[in-house]
A = this chain, B = another copy of it.
Amino acid sequence: MRFFSDNAAPVCPQVMAAIADANTLDTAYDGDAWSAKLDGAMSDLFGRDVACLWVATGTAANSLALAALCPPYGAIVCHRDAHIQNDECGAPEFFTHGAKLLLAEGDGAKLSAAAIAALLDATRDDVHQTQPHAISITNATEYGRVYSPADVAAIGKVAKARGLKLHMDGARFANAVAHLGCAPADLTWRAGVDALSFGFVKNGGMSAEALVFFDPEMAKATRYRRKRAGHLLSKGRYLAAQILAMLEGDLWLANARAANAAAAMLAEAAGDRLVHSVEANEIFLRVSPQEAASLRVEGFDFYDWGPGEARLVTAWNHAPEDVRPLADAIRAL
């Protein structure tokens, strides 16, 4: 059983069916019937008028968002362990034309409003320093921690007070919402978020992520940037259909709950071995090289995460019976 990545999981059946349903003649790019429904479906979900653009990757969603929120000569505050800093090969710099990422600290890749404020205070307001224009947080974080609506609102308050925009990398937004049980609105625009990368691929989708602007006006330039970045797929209906299928009947939440439940089962088994508390679908645990080897011998795959640590990721398709053997094996170490 592989616990490498939620990207390794297959596509869930409802999404496959939606793709098959979309396999008909329609207008190219985003002029089709499916794409036309996206704004409405997302507006319903978030309880306000939003603009929603499909893109094929989370990296594109994040980078397009940052390009909308920060000029080339500006800076974006993020966590030292943020995906946008470490795992996107400089995509934010590419899309923003060279904006700088300013790195803040916090346990579990989670930033506090205070840490952000301290970093901002340390920046001189003159032309010699790149001036912060935006903040980007990841929810759930790269270490599987979750920002609550109150956490986000505190950061949103700092952003607003300083005239900065706020982006949320929601590659695992579904897992965060599933964990919190809150309204999507409470975790985003009501807390001051301007743009959300709303991930579906890690959650059972194939190739569609949603970039949501809570002020539709902000999406205008992004439509040009998306085309210019080669991200306006010519048969966009197959992407829109995936997102609509995910929203239908809250499939996105059901899938995320399944992944979170699988992670919780592993977390319970791991006990003191946990490096971070498990709030979404990632588990980081302390294992010796010998222990890791023995788990692998038993057929479980995962990433080593530095010396003496391992990362396991659960997915929408990890049923309890799939996960229990690993939980037992961890407990038995």
Residues of A bordering B, CB below 8 Å: 2, 4-5, 7-11, 16, 19-20, 23-29, 55-61, 63-64, 71-73, 75, 86-91, 93-101, 127-131, 201-202, 206-207, 221, 223-235, 238-239
Q: Which residues of B contact A228 (CB under 8 A)?
A: 72-73, 88-91, 94
CB-CB nearest in chain B for A61 = B230
Whether A7 pairs with B230 at a CB distance below 8 angstroms is: no
Quick one: copies of this chain in the complex?
A: 4
CB distance from A278 to the nearest CB of B (A): 21
Q: Which residues of B contact A63 (CB under 8 A)?
A: 230
Which of the residues B2, B93, B96 comes within 8 Å of A99, measured between beta carbons? B93
Task: Find the B residue at minimum CB distance from A228.
Answer: B89
**Interchain CB contact under 8 A, B128 and A88:** yes
Bound together, the chains give a CA A7 to CA B233 distance in angstroms of: 10
A4 to B16, Cβ gap below 8 A? no
Contacts of A58 in B (CB 8 A): 234
The CB with the most chain B CB atoms within 10 A, among A64, A127, A221, is that of A127
CB pair B87–A72 under 8 Å, yes or no, is: no
Q: Which one of B7, B55, B95, B223 lies within 8 Å of A127 (CB-CB)?
A: B223
CB pair A5–B28 under 8 Å, yes or no, is yes
Q: Are B56 and A56 in contact (CB under 8 A)?
A: yes
Residues of B within 8 A of A234 (CB): 7, 57-58, 201-202
B230 touches A91 (CB 8 A): yes
Contact between B130 and A231 (Cβ–Cβ < 8 Å)?
no
Q: Which residues of B contact A233 (CB under 8 A)?
A: 56-57, 201, 207
With a CB–CB cut-off of 8 A, which chain B residues contact A235?
7, 11, 201, 206-207
Given contacts A56-B56, A93-B98, contact A226 B127 (CB under 8 A): yes
Q: Nearest Cβ distance between residue A129 and chain B, in whole angstroms?
A: 6
**A229 close to B232 (CB less than 8 A):** no
Choose one: B7, B94, B131, B238; the contact of A229 (CB below 8 Å). B94
**Pairwise interchain contact B28-A230, C-beta atoms closer than 8 A:** no
- A72-B94, A129-B87 in contact; A230/B232 too (CB < 8 A)? no
Interchain residue pairs A-B with the least CB separation, the first 10:
A60-B230, A93-B98, A7-B28, A59-B230, A89-B227, A7-B234, A97-B97, A89-B228, A73-B224, A127-B227
